[in-house]
């Protein structure tokens, strides 16, 4: 008799009670279906990168970066790039049959043709003071953006950790309720027999 009771208990404990409610609901994702898809369907890799960077930093930092980018864009919008100028000069010279591809490159600032000096000790390229200042500003902006992204990542990690802890507690509570239901169901079955 004891053996039959043990088998019944084991059978009751193996019965699915709430599992049927947890099955697939025909593709309905609930709140997950409403979340925006990061990196959209844009085919432009620059826009995908910009979207990722904007989503990774604080909105104030993104606004400041956009403002700085627009200021730089407005400042250089009317400037003619040095390479375009050089190409026009080369085309003019080739039409006049005086073709010299290095004509005027030294004073145009095209890569490898300027008066950059190399240190004997460290093979370092020196730039004019304005370029050094711009590089320093770029490094400062990059450091600020990186710090902001790190702070946001830490904050998001803390939020995720709290969410995971609450879900673990909810899971444990659900399993406990499930274990409480099974003995009651077993007692009901026992009473029917």
**Model confidence band, residue 157 (pLDDT cutoffs 50, 70, 90):** confident
Q: What span, in angstroms and rounded, lies between the C-alpha atoms of 185 and 178?
A: 11
Mean pLDDT of the chain: 69
pLDDT band for position 35 (cuts 50, 70, 90): very low
Verdict on whether the full-model pTM lies above 0.75: no
Average pLDDT for 60-76:
76
* Other residues' Cβ atoms within 10 Å of the Cβ of residue 105: 19
Question: Does the structure show a pLDDT above 50 at 158?
Answer: yes
Using a pLDDT cut of 70, give the percent of the chain over it. Answer: 51
**Tokens standing for 99?**
């073709």
- Pair 110, 82: CB distance under 8 Å: yes
pLDDT at 127: 53
């Amino acid at each position: 008799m004891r053996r039959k009771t043990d088998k019944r208990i084991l059978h009751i404990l193996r019965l699915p009670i709430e599992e049927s409610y947890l099955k697939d609901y025909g593709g309905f994702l609930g709140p997950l279906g409403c979340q925006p898809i990061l990196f959209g369907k844009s085919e432009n890799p620059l826009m995908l990168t910009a979207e990722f960077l904007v989503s990774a930093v604080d909105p104030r930092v993104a606004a400041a970066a956009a403002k700085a980018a627009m200021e730089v864009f407005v400042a250089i919008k009317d400037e003619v790039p040095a390479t375009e100028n050089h190409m026009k000069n080369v085309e003019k010279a080739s039409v006049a049959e005086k073709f010299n591809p290095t004509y005027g490159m030294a004073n145009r600032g095209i890569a490898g043709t300027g008066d950059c000096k190399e240190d004997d000790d460290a093979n370092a390229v020196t730039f004019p003071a304005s370029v050094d200042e711009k590089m320093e500003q770029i490094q400062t902006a990059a450091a600020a953006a990186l710090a902001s992204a790190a702070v946001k990542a830490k904050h998001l990690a803390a939020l995720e950790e709290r969410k995971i802890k609450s879900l673990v507690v909810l899971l444990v509570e659900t399993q406990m309720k499930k274990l409480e239901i099974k003995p009651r169901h077993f007692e009901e079955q026992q009473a029917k027999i």
